[in-house]
Amino acid sequence: MDLSVAPSTTAASDIVRGEDALAALTALVRDDLEACNRLIVERMQSPVALIPQLAAHIVAAGGKRLRPLLTLAAAKLAGYRDGQRHVALAACVEFIHTATLLHDDVVDESALRRGQASANALFGNKPSVLVGDFLFARAFQVMVEDGSLEVLRILSEASATIAEGEVLQLITQNDTATTEEQYLAVIEGKTAALFAAATEVGAIVAACTPAQQQGLRAYGHNLGVAFQLIDDALDYSARQEALGKTVGDDFREGKITLPVLLAFQRGDEAERVFWRRTLEEREQADEDLGRAIALMEKHAAFADTVGRARDYGNAALEALAVFPDGVERRALAGIVEFCISRAR
């Protein structure tokens, strides 16, 4: 598959290669990211030692800090120059993200997270639930110290939307009658809501124009949808193993993602019997994952999922057009390519 980003209304000079793009963004806000990492470690402390122990396991497990990077870079793009508010809010975004990861792994009964034993596998489900609660509460404490009700509004709304997306995912799991609309609502909730909030709070601290704030929010939202679409394609791709994840997790759990939906819609009756047996009744034999992947390839389900991600990626690029060209805009534009090129 050729997954390069299609030309968009944003200048071609905005577009760089995927891994380079993440490195470029990280380099651009390196000092801020280091300050954010220090703050994360500082603020996850507690007299109850198990809390920082468990939190450190997941916080230190090699995440790329994509969401806090977005907050830091969005603040810079929107003109924030003096002060450390963006650092504190980037840490809040990462705390909320970490809390949802801990709860997700409990809900999904995951054994692996970022290629390592997940917190629930290592420490048990119980502390994972409670430390997630702690990090969530701590995020709100840090926001209160920042003192912006607008930030609190954005991140409390995002948190509620994430939970709604996760519950909807649970409901649609093992249900091949799930519609594309429902699938989109799931990923807009569980992923795009926090991406959108991460970039919007960057705009808030910079006190930019309403159009720029809206632009950064739209960028984050569309990037988040693209990111999750690629994640869902990757779950059926050998490339996944290189990212330290297990191939076929979604298949084994019967999650109804876009590649599945497309293959199901385009399949004949015999194929639908296969999908119902494996995903709804969860009767799976060793060879079934291979057959699922073959059916997805036959029906161009991967290519079309990536194409859909590219559409959202282009919308993210267009949303940046409200800002003048410059190193920050180019860095954020490059992240679109990073998210989509993970699928290669």
Q: Specify burial of residue 62 (Cβ count, 10 A radius: 0-12, 13-18, 19+).
A: exposed
Name which of 167 and 303 has its Cβ closer to a second copy.
Answer: 167
CB of 30 to a second copy, least distance (A): 30
**Size of the chain, expressed as the number of residues it contains:** 344
Least CB distance to a second copy at residue 175 (A): 13
For a second copy, which is the closer residue by CB, 4 or 156?
Answer: 156
Q: Annotate 246-281 with DSSP letters as a single string.
A: -TTHHHHHT---HHHHHHHHHS-HHHHHHHIIIIIS
Residue 19 vs 157, nearer CB to a second copy: 157
For a second copy, the closer CB: 19 or 133:
133
Transcribe 148-171 into DSSP letters: -HHHHHHHHHHHHHHHHHHHHHHH
Q: With beta carbons less than 8 A apart as the criterion, state whether 71 and 44 touch.
A: no
Which residue number, 2 or 181, has a Cβ lying nearer to a second copy?
A: 181
Sites of contact with a second copy (CB under 8 A): 46-48, 50-51, 99-100, 103, 106-107, 125-127, 129-134, 136-138, 140-141, 143-144, 147, 149, 152-153, 156-157, 159-160, 162-164, 166-168, 170-171
Q: Which is nearer to a second copy, 195 or 338 (CB)?
A: 195
User: How near is the Cβ of 40 to a second copy at its closest, in Å?
Assistant: 15
Residue pair 1/303 in contact (Cβ under 8 Å)? The answer is yes
CB of 55 to a second copy, least distance (A): 11
CB of 240 to a second copy, least distance (A): 24
Residue from 193, 183, 202 nearest 222 by CA: 193
Q: How many other C-beta atoms are found inside a 10 Å radius of the C-beta of residue 79?
A: 15
Nearer to a second copy, 80 or 134 (CB): 134
Tokens of 281: 């009744």
* Min dist. Cβ of residue 46 to a second copy (A): 6
If one counts every other C-beta atom within 10 angstroms of the C-beta of residue 263, the result is: 27
Give me the residues paired with residue 117 across strands: 112
| Nearest-approach distance from CB 39 to a second copy, in angstroms | 16
Q: What whole-number distance in Å separates Cα of residue 56 and Cα of residue 98?
A: 10
